[in-house]
Structure 1
Amino acid sequence: MNEALDRAAELISSADAVLVCAGAGMGVDSGLPDFRGATGFWQAYPPYERLGLRFEELADPVHFVEDPALAWGFYGHRLDLYRRTLPHDGFRVLREWGARVFTSNVDGQFQRAGFDHVAEVHGSIHHLQCVQPCTDDVWPADDVVVDVDPATMRATGPLPSCRNCGGLARPNILMFGDWAWLGGPSQKALDALAQWRRAHRDIVVLELGAGVAVPTVRRQAELASAASGALVRVNPREPEVRHGRGVSLPMGALAAITELARRIG
């Protein structure tokens, strides 16, 4: 392990730029729940186990049409959770390294930690759009507060409305089977990231907490490091790198960042 950490630290310290590709494991050390598998999800949300509902079933835009109180109960609770969660110290270290960010997370933790340039490929819970949608408008959810009954996980008060047509609003998050998601803001950030990558040839990619179940982040990390092989994959469960093209660190995100920072100085 020490040899792998030394090699990873060398890659980071010698690179011109650092690209962080972060999955859900990045937030676990901040206290955010791990939705890995039905068991992990139900441990975080026991009411859904009683209802027999898995994460994939709840993260479906159809509920905003058929049962808005159920849909906003889930997303309203998550919005409040993410607002109350403080990013762990690893975020600070990455910011000091001047890292650019690509993430599948919708929690806004990188922005809360002070990052200016974050490409959120699946959108953000901190922004809203119309359920229909009536326009391509996406707006901040800063003033949105959803009351949720913790026993049933259903929204109990007024639901967020579209600021254009007055109909129901929903989070600007790419859900499963989602044909109504407005991906404009995400695409704009992805285009800016692509431009940044073209301007920085000597990039090291630090992949943090990205699993294989939804491989979006892994594919981005492997693509961005394809030319150089400068990939550091941090994952306690699935750390393997293909064809030896990178460094494998079977650790949690905070532990790995802390060890790398100690070596880099």
Structure 2
Amino acid sequence: MNNSDHYESLVSLFDKQLEFAQNLQKKIIPSPGSFVSDHYHFYSYLRPFRKVGGDFYDFHFMDNGKISLLIADATGHGIDAAMITSMIKLSYSYTMKDNRINQSPSLVLKQIESDISQQMDNTFFTAIALVFDPLEDILYFANAGHPDAVLLKASHKIELLKPNLPMLGLQQFMTTMHYFDMRINFSRGDKLLLFTDGLIDAKNPDREEFSMERVLSVIKKNADSPINLIGSHIIDACVDFKREQAPSDDICILGIEVDD
């Protein structure tokens, strides 16, 4: 086999691996239409930097009427990051079967972190886990080093769901770390937006970042719009800002709104 044939063989092998990873990732990330609730409207947007990426989300409907939601961002890009998201998916799915853990977002993150660290050393990712309780108009969350989530109240007041835990993967260095949940009211007319850092870190040709400030500006300008339109306006604003600059990271945006 000459060098040209060897190169073509390697390219063909990589393409097959990439296609396999892409098909796998499509299966593990739920479609927006599968989120069916009498209490909430849901919106999602996910665009990998390459054909596959490290941005991931999932949700789970619990027997008591509560809803669990997870968004995560694995370090890196491509097949390696996609493999980590697959592991997050498996761990999250099994964790949701444990009623001692699944009611607590911080314990969900702790379990996922433990599962993955047992299989792969030095694997780091940010995540937000949430549990929505529609009967009590409450959401519980734990933010592990992830960008602030934005809560837009019906009054148009904005609150940020800031990190209360470090990035996941650091458990091995912080064995005495305390895992705890945050609690906040989430009632009629309230809207919540979550996103990965690929959105706020997106750059224009002048190397300026899209930034949290621009995200908040779009949200404020469209505060009366439904959650899906707010999400679309954020994407459009980011695209206009970049001015055809090539993407450099995955972007994921999730939105959830209490039904009027």
Higher RCO, 1 or 2 (CA under 8 Å, sep at least 6)?
1
> Which protein is richer in helix relative to its size?
1
TM-score, normalised to structure 1, is 0.25
Question: How high is the TM-score relative to the length of structure 2?
Answer: 0.25
